[in-house]
Amino acid sequence: MISFTIALVCSFLVTALIVRLSRSRTLPWDDHEMSGAQKFHARAVPRVGGLGVAVGLLALTGWTTVTGRGPASELWLLWLCGLPALGAGLAEDLTKRVGVKVRLLATMLSGALAFFLLGAQLSEVQLPGLDWLMTFTAFSLLFTMVATGGVANAINIIDGYNGLAAVVASVMLCSLAYVGWQVGDNLVVSMALAGTGALLGFFLWNWPRGMIFLGDGGAYLVGFLIATLSLLLVARHRGVVSPWYPFLLCIYPVFETFFSIWRKLIVRGVSPGVPDGLHLHMLVFRRLVRWAVGRRDAASLTLRNSLTAPYLWLLSSLAALPATLLWRYPHALQAMVALFCVGYVWLYLRLVRFRSPRWLVLRSKNGRLSRFRDML
């Protein structure tokens, strides 16, 4: 637990410093854009929460190096691999001039570095035909790069509501730490626990008041970390950890990404990169939470924002829990992947057609939510 504690304390303090500085002066990392399909804050908010997460992870790496208690050399290599993803994301947070393609390519470069330096690669997917292709290094490398970029982009997509990405990613990292402990992989356990602690340090400032955003730097770094640790588990423990385990573990943000691409490109005929207000978490915000908080003042919008995330925490847990329990059973994992996808589409269609299940609609009772709003 020392990994968790070090990362938590360092991330909490650095994030607190960023919030404090942004309150006292105008800084280039503040997000002043209040309009747009995916903008829900009511005041300028710093968007470099990823710095706190990065410092938390770096502190754990430094402590391991000084004390010699842990795989220090592998941790430094992991850091080296993640620098392109973190750097491109932070550059966008600070300048808002780094395009999606550049950030994706940088994250895929991080995946390629992890492939060669750490052996984070997928050599089988337990599907006929594809496993044969995986025997070719070039195809395995391409698959690893796409998977890394895809998971990182998926985390970035859900980073729109207070606490959403932080908790979803933390649940994934906790699962990775557990499975890593089961198979005796110290690198995965140490970094997964550190990632959970670093995200919690950020989360305490992000939810419920939304005083800071994770930002592209944080989202891409966390996505890279989850993808790489997942690949390491499967590659190092081939035949023990099923490749379907990380797929089910990450299915919520990953399926959200693929579903959004299909919805925009095929159904609407627009570029997948065009932002819109029809992601599942946005529909939850509009169709399930709005009845609890009807006003549109700053405190009410913040409350609606914060009440949206728990719906998706539960949804992601419905995938993470069975993945954690069934991590070595491919057929059971495949069945759970299919079940989750069907459930996701059912819920999405109900919400987009204004047929929200009544038992999911959150309504204010006895003024409790109003009192919570006033506290915000």
φ/ψ of residue 357, rounded to 5: -60, 130
- CA neighbor of 111 nearest in space, from 15, 194, 10, 226: 226
* Proportion of the chain above pLDDT 70, given as a percent: 88
- CA neighbor of 316 nearest in space, from 126, 172, 121, 107: 172
> Tokens 């993945």, residue?
323
In DSSP notation, 96-134 reads: S---HHHHHHHHHHHHHHHHHHT-------SSTTHHHHT
Average pLDDT over residues 283-301: 72
According to the model, what pLDDT value does residue 23 have? 76
Task: Check residues 293 and 276 and name the one with the higher pLDDT.
Answer: 276
Task: Check residues 152 and 127 and name the one with the higher pLDDT.
Answer: 152
Token pair in block for residue 75: 């941790």
According to the model, what pLDDT value does residue 4 have? 94
Token pair in block for residue 162: 């207070």
Sorting pLDDT into bands at 50, 70 and 90, what band is 96?
Answer: confident
According to the model, what pLDDT value does residue 51 have? 94
- What residue type is 120 in one-letter code? A
According to the model, what pLDDT value does residue 335 have? 97
Average pLDDT over residues 200-207: 95
Give how far Cα 197 sits from Cα of 73, 165, 194, Å.
21, 14, 5
CA distance 148 to 344: 23
- CA neighbor of 11 nearest in space, from 170, 234, 150: 170
According to the model, what pLDDT value does residue 32 have? 52
Please check the confidence at residue 42 and state whether its pLDDT lies above 60. no
Average pLDDT over residues 116-131: 84
CA distance 48 to 105: 20
Average pLDDT along the chain:
87
φ/ψ of residue 242, rounded to 5: -70, 140
Peptide bond into 275 cis (omega under 30): no
* Proportion of the chain above pLDDT 90, given as a percent: 59
According to the model, what pLDDT value does residue 181 have? 97
Burial 114-140 (b: 16+ CB within 10 A, else e): bbeebebbbebbeeeeeeeebeeeeeb
According to the model, what pLDDT value does residue 12 have? 97
Sorting pLDDT into bands at 50, 70 and 90, what band is 99?
Answer: confident
CA distance 243 to 122: 8
Query: Residues 354-367: pLDDT tens digits?
Result: 898 888 887 766 55
CA torsion angle 345 346 351 356 (round to 10): -160
pTM: 0.92
| Long-range CB contacts (within 8 A, 24+) of 316-322 | 316/167, 316/168, 316/171, 316/172, 316/252, 316/253, 317/171, 318/343, 319/248, 319/249, 319/251, 319/252, 320/171, 320/172, 320/175, 320/249, 322/248
Number of domains, the chain: 1
Please check the confidence at residue 30 and state whether its pLDDT lies above 70. no
Sorting pLDDT into bands at 50, 70 and 90, what band is 135?
Answer: confident
Q: Of 16-25, 29-38, 274-283, 337-346, which gets the smallest average pLDDT?
A: 29-38
According to the model, what pLDDT value does residue 176 have? 98
Please check the confidence at residue 184 and state whether its pLDDT lies above 80. yes
Query: Residues 296-334: pLDDT tens digits?
Result: 666 677 777 888 999 999 999 999 999 999 999 999 999
Please check the confidence at residue 39 and state whether its pLDDT lies above 60. no
According to the model, what pLDDT value does residue 132 have? 79
CA distance 80 to 100: 22
Q: Determine the structural domain holding residue 336 and report its residue range.
A: 2-375
Q: Sign of torsion, CA 362 367 370 371?
A: negative
